[in-house]
Amino acid sequence: MRVKICGITSLEQGSAIAQLGANALGFICVKKSPRYLSPDNIARITCHLPPQVSRVGVFANTDTTEIISLLQQTHLTAVQLHGEETPEECNKLHSQLPNNIEVIKAIRVKSAESLQQTETYAPYVDTFLLDAYDPQQLGGTGKAFNWELLQNFNPPRPWFLAGGLTPNNIREALAIAIPNGIDLSSGVENSPGNKDLNLVQQLFQVLGS
């Protein structure tokens, strides 16, 4: 299973989290986020990470040209679209990226109907990420959604479960849903962007037990 820790802001924490077992790290490219990193700072971290670790840039309603430019500066290997991007916009981006760049589309789950969006987006993306819906924030809310909605969820693409996951509730979540990966941010933090390595270690202990 893929384990993505999102909102990395320092090389020391990113390297330590990769050593603990994370095989994907997320970097926030949305300027209004408290976890935002500039392209230069992202590049300073990504160039030192092990090659097997996915390096995911998180964008929201960002122009395709800007995304491609930032990818060229930062050694990112995946793009996560966490805004209101349409299937057509996802298709446009995907068609302009190299084949080895993964496109992840976040779906904010408000109800069972939200899950139907995966059928519409599937031809244009590689992976989904299901997050909790919040009317004010696009992500990083620390809120979970009703995992019972996912009991029979079998989308046409691999998917991450996100939204309010912590070392304390991950076992419960995985007993209900069967994602291909999990994504944690605030659930392993002391404050936005400052990861708690003890919590990250605890997460992997739970996953390994």
Element (H, E) at 199: helix 197-208
131 assigned to active site? yes
Q: 29, 90, 131, 183: which is the annotated catalytic residue?
A: 131
Q: Write the pLDDT tens digit of every residue in 56-105.
A: 999 999 999 999 999 999 999 999 999 999 999 999 999 999 999 999 99
pLDDT at 144: 87
pTM, entire model? 0.95
> Domain residues of the chain, as ranges?
2-208
Q: What is the pLDDT of residue 94?
A: 96
Assess contact for 45 and 27: CB atoms under 8 A.
yes
- What gap in Å lies between CA 209 and CA 203, rounded to an integer? 10
DSSP secondary-structure letter at 141? Answer: -
Per-residue confidence (pLDDT) for residue 132, from 0 to 100? 87
What pLDDT sits at residue 141? Answer: 60
- The confidence score (pLDDT) of residue 143 equals 76
- List Cα–Cα distances, 39 to 71, 73, 79, in angstroms: 9, 7, 14
The pLDDT value given to residue 136:
56
The radius of gyration of the chain from alpha carbons, rounded to an integer in Å, stands at 16
- State the amino acid at position 115 in one-letter form: L
> Residue ranges of the chain with pLDDT lower than 70?
133-142
**Residue 129 is encoded by which pair of tokens?**
């990420």
Query: Is 6 among the residues known to form the active site?
Result: yes
- The third-level CATH classification (topology) of the domain covering 2-208 is TIM Barrel (3.20.20)
Q: Which one of the listed residues 6, 29, 90, 183 is annotated catalytic?
A: 6
70 within 8 A of 93, measured Cβ to Cβ: no
